[in-house]
């Protein structure tokens, strides 16, 4: 397994008291450091290019974010830049593309340990701590380079509205999101299933507040895994948010670290069966630092374990 990480992910600095804080970057740094110390491969990512970002985002939006370079700007009530954020956000998108390309081209797994997160950023706007839609850009790059079917699974406690928006009418990208509902950002009803040719290629799995491992893993068994099987993806990308953990201060679900381990194992096993183990994971939310660390470690262990089993 390859990890993509940069110490620069701690340089994006929202105002004091903001949950998406630099200490989250220090958790990512600690995970990457421990992985490298154990002999694992950790690679420094590069920044996404404007051409890559433009596969998902509008030119006017890319110009607006570029204009925040070197400045601290409040974009909305949740979303702030600091002088380094423009570079760091491009690095997060680049790491996600690199992870996805590694999985797609080598058949090995990869995980991008990044912040800021990406799944709330829509083609034309920043939102919910997110500037670039990291995983959507990565999926679009793989499509442009020849992948015919890309599956995206998002288990962050919040609905991945940005990822959904990028591919809502596109049957070549299956988007599956489990999330607390009703909840911020408000989208993600199970009746939202895609539009036009993309109808049936968006699968929203809303969870009631208080749902725990059994309920979440149950909807993956009954709905997400069969949808993945039917889609036959060339590669599986995962938006890994750990804010569905019961200790998370923002989310209202009750998952445990063992639940994240089991869910990660299910997704890795599905990728092994369906697409030669081509799975790439990118971090999204997760605001309890201990739960974030435990969850990421559980995902890495589960994917490595799955890949060492005989197919």
Q: Least distance to Zn ion from the beta carbon of 19, Å?
A: 10
Q: Least distance to Zn ion from the beta carbon of 102, Å?
A: 25
Residue from 154, 156, 269, 294 touching Zn ion (CB under 5 A): that is 156
For Zn ion, which is the closer residue by CB, 116 or 241? 241
| Candidates 102, 120, 179, 307; catalytic one | 120
Number of residues that bind Zn ion (CB under 5 A): 5
For Zn ion, which is the closer residue by CB, 172 or 187? 187
158 near Zn ion, rule: CB under 5 A: yes
**Contact yes or no for 148/172 (Cβ under 8 A):** yes
288 near Zn ion, rule: CB under 5 A: no
Q: Least distance to Zn ion from the beta carbon of 156, Å?
A: 4
269 near Zn ion, rule: CB under 5 A: no
Give me the 190-229 binding string for Zn ion, x by CB under 5 A, dash otherwise.
----------------------------------------
277 near Zn ion, rule: CB under 5 A: no
12 is catalytic: no
In the structure encoding, which two tokens stand for residue 45, read together? 């990512």
285 near Zn ion, rule: CB under 5 A: yes
> What is the number of the residue whose Cβ is closest to Zn ion?
285
128 near Zn ion, rule: CB under 5 A: no
295 near Zn ion, rule: CB under 5 A: no
Residues 32-91 that bind Zn ion (CB under 5 A): none
241 near Zn ion, rule: CB under 5 A: yes
Q: Least distance to Zn ion from the beta carbon of 138, Å?
A: 18
HEC string of the chain equals: CEEECCHHHHCCCCCCCCCCCHHHHHHHHHHHHHHHHCCCEEECCCCCCHHHHCCCCCHHHHHHHHCCCCCCCECCCCCECCCCHHHHHHHHHHHHHHHHHHHHHHCCCEEECCCCCCCCCECCECECCECCCHHHHHHHHHHHCCCCCEEEEECCCCCCHHHHHHHCCCCCEEEEEEEECCCCCCCCCCCCCCCHHHCCCEEEEEECCCCEHHHHHHHHHHHHHHHHHHHCCCEEEEEECCCCECCCCCCCCEECHHHHHHHHHHHHHHHHHHHCCCEEEEECCCCCHHHHHHHHHHHHHHHHHHHHCCC
Q: Least distance to Zn ion from the beta carbon of 55, Å?
A: 24
As annotated, the active-site residues are: 120
Residues that bind Zn ion (CB under 5 A): 156, 158, 241, 243, 285
């Amino acid at each position: 397994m390859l990890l993509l990480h940069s110490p620069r992910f701690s340089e994006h600095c929202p105002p004091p008291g903001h949950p998406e804080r630099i200490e989250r970057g220090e958790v990512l740094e600690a995970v990457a450091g421990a992985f490298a110390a154990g002999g694992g491969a950790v690679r420094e990512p590069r920044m996404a290019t404007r051409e890559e970002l433009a596969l998902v985002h509008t030119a006017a939006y890319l110009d607006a974010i570029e204009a925040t370079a070197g400045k601290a700007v409040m974009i909305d009530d949740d979303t702030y830049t600091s002088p380094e954020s423009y570079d760091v956000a491009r690095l997060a998108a680049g790491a996600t593309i690199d992870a996805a390309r590694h999985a797609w081209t080598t058949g090995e797994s990869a995980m991008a340990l990044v912040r800021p997160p990406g799944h709330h950023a829509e083609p034309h706007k920043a939102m919910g701590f997110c500037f670039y839609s990291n995983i959507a850009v990565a999926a679009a790059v793989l499509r442009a380079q020849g992948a015919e079917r890309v599956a995206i699974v998002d288990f962050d406690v919040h609905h991945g509205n940005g990822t959904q928006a990028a591919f809502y009418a596109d049957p070549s990208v299956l988007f599956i999101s489990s999330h607390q509902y009703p909840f911020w950002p408000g989208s993600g009803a199970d009746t939202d299933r895609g539009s036009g040719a993309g109808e049936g290629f968006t699968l929203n799995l809303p969870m009631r507040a208080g749902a725990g491992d059994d309920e979440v893993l149950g909807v993956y068994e009954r709905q997400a895994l069969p949808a993945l099987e039917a889609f036959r993806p060339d590669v599986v990308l995962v938006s890994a948010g750990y804010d569905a953990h019961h200790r998370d201060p923002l989310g209202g679900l009750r998952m445990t670290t063992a639940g994240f381990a089991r869910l990660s194992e299910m997704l890795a096993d599905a990728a092994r069966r369906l697409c030669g183990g081509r799975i790439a994971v990118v971090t999204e939310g997760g605001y309890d630092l201990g739960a974030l660390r435990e969850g990421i470690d559980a995902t890495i262990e589960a994917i490595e374990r799955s890949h060492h089993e005989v197919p």
